[in-house]
């Protein structure tokens, strides 16, 4: 006959059962916290926002989503929160203090460790063997060209939403074409060349900032846009000396004598000039009310109208523009689109600054590019209309299928043809000689403007120089514009910092390099060899 279990045996069995149950619960909990989602105060799922690739007009990649993960932790399962904070901070380059504060805050069951971690960082985290870690799949925008075209392309935020440049301006198209491609108007071959020449000119003349634009005058497509200083969009932060501002689109400047292009266009359009051979007195200064208009350089006693533009005479230009008067000048600039913010796919834009009281003095100064501030992109667009047959274009950063998107006439075609001849004359016989490129028939205009300073006064000896070039000028295809903010003369320029010495040569180098890439034929006569047939 079997004996009944003693009380001690019963207690041993009960204890064993309880221990087994406890170990089972611990095991289930470990599986739960390491492999399954928490049931208490769960973190809502974040939707992954997919974006299409951005490419240049030839298919070169500008921006693409890369697979990354966000890392979260449930600190209530850590045995040692301080050690966990230390290990995770080392693996992910996160702030250890922030992590420990989050781990010790009972109000937050989930703590964000790091966003957009790469596969190698994920591997480091997994090797730590910590419980309670969760990875959430996402995307990180990558920019293979780095700084090149950074302000134009723009960046996204940690949630993959565009916050600047075309990433923001083309947000709808990029989202709608997720998994596909959105082709921009940018030609990275042209972009590299423009960026190189702008950077070289900025360094040579120690300018504070510099920028440039290349535009198709028939479609309004922007093939290249540079703003220096720039930044690295992959870092998602601005380092010392860098800038995310696109000075070509979102800053306004008094551009100086390149504005004379618009003044002469208005004079030819309205027939206020008897002819381009009409002679004007120049002298040493022109009194207008209590102000005196001066020249930037020494001028002869008289100049024909064509030479007023070629030599960039302020006094001669003031006499010509005053024939039109304030009302007509304002109406004409409005017609050309200068007196409103330019619209394109770029979200960065700026309203122009111009006189509220537009009288005779303001008419004269605006006529030679002082007292009115506009975004360079706005001026380039208006001046492109001057040479493209006089028809309206809208700047665009999307690749266009049509090769001619010119709209309504804003000036007569014969006015446009006359202006082409004048701009060519500026390069062959005037201040733009250093912009000439044999065989490419360049036309253009220099601009050297005083720089406004505090209290409404101009900074002594400070200039903002630029050059607007068009080629081939008698059958225009492209414009190239370069601006230098406060350049300094060098020994090679004899100390001169005017546009003819600083910006014009840079534009020439750009044209010389990009024209063959863009299929513009060189019409220069062949070089004769010494002793060869005549």
Q: Which residues contact 330 (CB under 8 A, 6 or more apart)?
A: 339, 358
| Unique residue bearing structure tokens 């065989």 | 439
In this structure, what are the phi and psi dihedrals at residue 144, rounded to the nearest 5 degrees? Answer: -65, -25
Classify residue 462 as exposed, middle or buried by CB count within 10 Å of its CB (0-12, 13-18, 19+): middle
Q: Taking a C-beta distance cutoff of 8 angstroms, is the pair 197, 482 a contact?
A: yes
Q: Taking a C-beta distance cutoff of 8 angstroms, is the pair 418, 445 a contact?
A: no
The H-assigned helical ranges of 373-475 are 376-387, 413-429
Residue 524's CB is within 10 A of a number of other CB atoms, namely 11
Nearest 5°: the CA angle 390, 255, 195 is 90
Classify residue 396 as exposed, middle or buried by CB count within 10 Å of its CB (0-12, 13-18, 19+): buried
Q: Taking a C-beta distance cutoff of 8 angstroms, is the pair 273, 309 a contact?
A: no
Which of 94, 185, 244, 257 is catalytic? The answer is: 257
The H-assigned helical ranges of 147-226 are 150-153, 165-169, 171-176, 188-204
Long-range interactions of 353-359: CB distance < 8 A, separation 24+: 353/252, 358/326, 358/329, 358/330, 359/326
DSSP 13-67: HHHHHHHHHHHHHHHHHHHHHHHS--SSSPPPPPPP---PEEE-TTS-EEEEEEE
Residue 78's CB is within 10 A of a number of other CB atoms, namely 19
Q: Taking a C-beta distance cutoff of 8 angstroms, is the pair 306, 340 a contact?
A: no
**Percent of the chain that is helix, strand, coil (3-state, to 5):** 35, 20, 45
Residue 32's CB is within 10 A of a number of other CB atoms, namely 14
Instruction: Specify the DSSP class assigned to residue 475.
Output: S
Task: List strand residue ranges (DSSP E) for 91-188, in order.
Answer: 111-117, 133-142, 181-183
Q: Which residues contact 485 (CB under 8 A, 6 or more apart)?
A: 207, 208, 209, 210, 247, 253, 451, 464
Catalytic residue status for 243: no
Tell me the three state secondary structure of residue 11.
Answer: helix
Active site residues: 257
């Amino acid at each position: 006959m079997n004996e009944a279990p003693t009380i001690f045996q019963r207690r041993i069995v009960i204890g064993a059962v309880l221990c087994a149950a406890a170990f089972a619960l611990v095991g289930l909990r470990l599986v739960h916290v390491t492999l399954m989602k928490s049931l208490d105060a769960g973190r809502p799922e974040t939707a992954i926002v997919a974006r299409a690739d951005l490419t240049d007009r030839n298919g070169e990649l500008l921006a693409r989503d890369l697979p990354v993960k966000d890392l979260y932790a449930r600190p209530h399962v850590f045995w040692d929160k301080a050690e966990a904070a230390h290990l995770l901070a080392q693996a992910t380059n996160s702030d250890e203090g922030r992590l420990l504060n989050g781990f010790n805050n009972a109000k937050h069951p989930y703590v964000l460790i790091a966003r957009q971690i790469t596969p190698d960082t994920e591997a480091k985290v997994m090797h730590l063997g910590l419980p309670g870690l969760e990875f959430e799949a996402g995307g990180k925008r990558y920019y293979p060209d780095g700084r090149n075209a950074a302000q134009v392309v723009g960046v996204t935020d940690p949630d993959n939403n565009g916050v600047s440049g075309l990433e923001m301006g083309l947000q709808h198209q990029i989202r709608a074409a997720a998994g596909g491609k959105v082709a921009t108007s940018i030609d990275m071959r042209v972009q590299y060349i423009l960026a190189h020449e702008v950077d070289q000119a900025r360094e040579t003349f120690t300018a504070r900032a510099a920028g440039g634009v290349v535009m198709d005058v028939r479609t309004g497509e922007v093939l290249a846009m540079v703003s220096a200083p720039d930044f690295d969009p992959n870092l998602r932060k601005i380092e010392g000396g860098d800038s995310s501002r696109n000075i070509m689109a979102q800053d306004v400047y008094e551009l100086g004598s390149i504005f004379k292009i618009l003044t002469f266009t208005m004079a030819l359009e309205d027939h206020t000039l008897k002819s381009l051979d009409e002679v004007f007195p120049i002298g040493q200064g022109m009194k207008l009310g209590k102000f005196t208009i001066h020249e930037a350089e020494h001028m002869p006693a008289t100049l024909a109208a064509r030479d007023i533009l070629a030599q960039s005479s302020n006094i001669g230009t003031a006499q010509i523009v005053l024939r039109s008067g304030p009302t007509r000048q304002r109406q004409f600039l409005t017609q050309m689109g200068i007196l409103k913010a330019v619209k394109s796919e770029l979200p960065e834009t700026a309203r122009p600054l111009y006189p509220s009281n537009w009288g005779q003095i303001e008419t004269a100064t605006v006529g030679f590019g002082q007292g009115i501030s506009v975004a360079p992109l706005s001026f380039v667009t208006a001046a492109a209309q001057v040479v493209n047959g006089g028809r309206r274009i809208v700047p665009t950063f999307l690749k266009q299928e049509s090769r001619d998107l010119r709209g309504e006439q804003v000036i007569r075609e014969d006015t446009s043809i006359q202006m082409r001849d004048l701009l060519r004359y500026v390069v062959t016989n005037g201040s733009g000689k250093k912009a000439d490129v044999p065989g490419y028939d360049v036309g253009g205009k220099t601009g050297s403007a005083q720089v406004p300073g505090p209290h409404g006064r101009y900074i002594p000896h400070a200039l903002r120089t630029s050059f607007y070039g068009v080629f081939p000028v008698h059958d225009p295809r492209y414009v190239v514009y370069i601006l230098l903010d406060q350049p300094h003369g060098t020994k090679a320029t004899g100390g001169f910092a005017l546009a003819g010495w600083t910006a014009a040569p840079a534009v020439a180098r750009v044209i010389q390099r990009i024209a063959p890439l863009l299929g513009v034929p060189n019409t220069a006569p062949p070089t004769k060899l010494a002793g060869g047939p005549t």
